[in-house]
Amino acid sequence: MKRRVAIVGSGNIGTDLLYKVRRSASLEAAWMVGIDEASDGLARARSLGVKTTAAGIDGLLPHLQRDEIAIVFDATSAYAHQQNWRKLAEHDVRVVDLTPAAIGPYCIPPVNLRAHLDSGVKNVNMVTCGGQATVPMVAAVSRVQPLDYAEIVATVASKSAGPGTRANIDEFTRTTADAVARLGGAKKGKAIIILNPAEPPLIMRDTIHCLVAGEPDRAAITESVKQMVREVQTYVPGYTLKNGPIFDGRRVTTFVEVMGLGDYLPPYAGNLDIMTAAALRTGEVWAERL
């Protein structure tokens, strides 16, 4: 039986997620929640037979129980998520937070999703696009050898960086650096983001540098990285290892490309796609446990 979900936020991210949920074998999109009746996302949801409300979270709350909503995806904003979570916390729903609010713990599916589900947490945060794309690579190295330091460079098409990201780019660098260190498993983390305006837009690229403690075990790290790439590919098929891992003294570097599925967002916006894909994955694995 499919578990029923609601998507709060009818912008680019929420709408892309809607298309992904529609393909899911274990989740069913029951509600799409927006604040603008005329938004493209709500119109698309209606045309797909999904119930909609333009009254925000308050339009959804009365239906949570009756429509047996098990999981709520929040693709609004950090501020709106704080309000939404206050209202959702008392209900029997699990919340996947795609905003930068980070009320719940960071969740990078191949790294710590199962641990979160075992802990009984009810709200998880999907970090940042850069975090979703790079933390698995850091973790792939750190599970072989301890890391003194990890650093990532995320390069995304200018067109795929919305006004929210642009207005608070420091939030990206801080949150990603924090996740790279804490979830990736490094003593210290750093994140750099580059917005490139090239036309046609470039596909998201990420470079992941790690400094291992001691001499790197090349064979084991290479195998671990390749295995992790395959694991990410199970939910982001366009996640590819372009080069590496390369070894230079204690430095281990991998180069990845993230091409999106092109559901609602164009394929170059792999940075947005990996957020919605990771959120879907989180919802699906959670649903299995319920």
Partner 1 sequence: MTSVILHDMSLRDGMHPKRHQITIEQMVAVSTALDRAGVPLIEVSHGDGLGGASINYGFPLHSDEELLRAVVPKMTRAKISALLLPGIGTVDDLRMAHDCGVGTVRVATHCTEADVAAQHLGLARKLGLDTVGFLMMAHMIEPARLVEQAKLMESYGANCVYCTDSAGHMLPDDVRARIGALRGALKPETQIGFHGHHNLGMGIANSLAAIECGAARIDASAAGLGAGAGNTPLEVFVAVCDRMKIETGVDLYGVMDVAEDLIVPMMDQPVRIDRDALVLGWAGVYSSFLLFAQRAGERYGVSPRDILVEMGKRKTIGGQEDLIEDVAIDLARGARGIS
Catalytically active residues are 129
For the chain, helix (H) and strand (E) counts, in that order, are: 10, 11
Assigned token pair, 55:
């009254």
Is residue 240 near partner 1 by the rule CB under 8 A? no
Contact stretch for partner 1 (CB under 8 A) within 3-11, 75-83, 148-156, 225-233: 148-156
- Closest contact distance (angstroms) between CB of 199 and partner 1 is 8
- Cβ-based nearer residue to partner 1, 49 or 163: 163
Beta strands 3-8 and 27-33 are parallel
What would the x/- binding string for partner 1 be over residues 196 to 235, using CB under 8 A?
A: xxx---x--x-x-x-x------------------------
* DSSP codes joined into one string, 221-276: HHHHHHHHHHHHHTT-TTEEEEEEEEEETTEEEEEEEE----SSS-TT-HHHHHHH
Residues that contact partner 1, how many (by CB under 8 A): 34
Element (H, E) at 46: helix 40-47
Is residue 163 near partner 1 by the rule CB under 8 A? yes
- Closest contact distance (angstroms) between CB of 206 and partner 1 is 9
- Closest contact distance (angstroms) between CB of 79 and partner 1 is 16
- Closest contact distance (angstroms) between CB of 112 and partner 1 is 25
Distance, CA of 9 to CA of 42 (rounded, Å): 9
| Among 119, 227, 234, 243, interactor with partner 1 by CB under 8 A | 243
Q: Alpha carbon of 183 to those of 105, 136, 154, 190, 255: distances in Å?
A: 10, 9, 17, 13, 19
| Among 25, 38, 47, 170, interactor with partner 1 by CB under 8 A | 170
| Among 13, 17, 72, 193, interactor with partner 1 by CB under 8 A | 193
- Cβ-based nearer residue to partner 1, 119 or 168: 168
Helix (H, G, I), strand (E, B) or coil at 70: strand
Q: Which residue has the tokens 């098929």?
A: 237
- Cβ-based nearer residue to partner 1, 82 or 158: 158
Site for partner 1 in 124-143 (CB under 8 A): none
Distance, CA of 282 to CA of 94 (rounded, Å): 10
| C-beta of residue 152 within 8 angstroms of C-beta of residue 179 | no
Is residue 48 near partner 1 by the rule CB under 8 A? no
Is residue 190 near partner 1 by the rule CB under 8 A? yes
Question: What are the DSSP E strand ranges found in the chain?
Answer: 3-8, 27-33, 51-53, 69-74, 94-97, 123-125, 147-157, 189-196, 204-212, 239-248, 251-258
Helix (H, G, I), strand (E, B) or coil at 100: coil
- Residues binding partner 1 (CB under 8 A): 149, 151, 153, 155, 158, 163, 166-170, 172-174, 190, 192-198, 202, 205, 207, 209, 211, 242-243, 246, 248, 251, 253, 255
